[in-house]
Amino acid sequence: METKHSLFKSFKFAFDGLESAFTKGRNFRIQITIGAFAVVLGILLKLSVPEWLDLVLVISLVLILELVNTVIEALVDLVSPEIQEKAKIAKDVAAATVLLASIGSVIIGALLFLPKLLNLLV
């Protein structure tokens, strides 16, 4: 019975983390909104299964990296409340991972959506 209880607690902690990221993280909310827009656009443009896999993977990657960035920033703030060069580097590099994933997601989104949108215009 303890295992089941622990499993439910683990899921609760995970959902608490998502709630915290959503309520306290402006960038996470922005990324969720853009991801939701991409999903709606995918439905409207009738993406194929492989295209859906690409879309879900890239949305997940950006959201996961934003969560990891949030963790790194919180930990750095906890262990190094004063401004230090190495703390700044850690936070900046963590933010850069999200930036790179976001740029990649825009490119993938353009490759997925632009041909379909152009076909609607022709």
Catalytic residues, which ones?
66
Tell me whether residue 115 is exposed, middle or buried, using C-beta atoms within 10 angstroms of its C-beta: 0 to 12, 13 to 18, 19 or more.
exposed
Give phi and psi for 6, each to the nearest 5: -65, -35
Q: Kindly state the helix (H) or strand (E) to which residue 84 belongs, with its residue range.
A: none
> Kindly report the CA angle at 86 between 80 and 90, in degrees rounded to 5?
85
29: Cβ contacts below 8 Å, ≥ 6 apart: 22
Cα–Cα distance between 52 and 70 in angstroms, integer? 27
